[in-house]
Amino acid sequence: MEPQKILEQIKSSGRNAEEVLKMAYDMQRSIVLYESGIQEVRTKLEILQREAQTKGGHTPIETIKSRVKNVFSVLEKLERKGFEVSMKSVEENLHDVAGIRVICPYIEDIYEVAEWLRRQDDLRILIEKDYIKNPKPNGYRSFHMVVEVPVFLADSKRYVRVEIQLRTIAMDFWASLEHQIHYKGPEAVPGSISSKLRQCAQTIAAIDEQMLEIYKEVRALPDKEV
């Protein structure tokens, strides 16, 4: 949603627009914390990725993507969810201001990377949701973790929440299209499209399983003699 529309929506709910703008300004300064949190977690993942590469063979991490929600997206979500519009409310109620997406070749890699993260003794694992074993009704599959990572400032230490989504390449392809549909709004999307999307999710899940099975069979073959 555009910033002006978000402000109009907040104003129509009876909130003082000037106060909201001031909070948006203060929040923008706090965004640096979330950017730093992403940097900390991303560095951990990149180190683990390089370690796997140096060992040779298979690397469980294909790519790493990251983003921080902009201030107006945060304000819109607070308003939509009915939460207080304040920085304290952001820290207490929103888990996805800072997000990292890890794309893995195979399903088993997702669980391996999740275990890597659990072993990081300076990460606090707050939430784990397995949408691979328990997909959402629309067919969405992914493994979600919400962690808290320490960020060391000049005179203090702050724990920052970061959401990590672990997906296969196929899951990420599906989720990208679903994301576009979601922002069209449910009233604008025909039921036939939602039905096709669920069918695609089932097909993708079957392909992921078959690709993993083939990969395991290939891995078990003897190496070519030199």
Considering 163, 178, 213, 217, which one is annotated as catalytic? 163
Please tell me the distance from the alpha carbon of residue 72 to that of residue 10, in angstroms, as a whole number: 11
CA-wise closest residue to 202 among 140, 144, 143: 140
Other C-beta atoms lying within 10 Å of the C-beta of residue 79 = 18
CA-wise closest residue to 143 among 122, 161, 120, 118: 118
What are the beta bridge partners of residue 100? 66, 164
Please tell me the distance from the alpha carbon of residue 208 to that of residue 210, in angstroms, as a whole number: 6
Number of H helices, E strands in the chain: 7, 5
3-12 helix and 17-54 helix, angle to the nearest 10 degrees: 130
107-118 helix and 17-54 helix, angle to the nearest 10 degrees: 110
For 65, phi and psi rounded to 5 degrees?
Answer: -120, 150
Which ranges in 160-190 belong to alpha helices (H)? 169-182
Catalytic annotation present for 62? no
Please tell me the distance from the alpha carbon of residue 47 to that of residue 44, in angstroms, as a whole number: 5
Residues noted as catalytic: 163
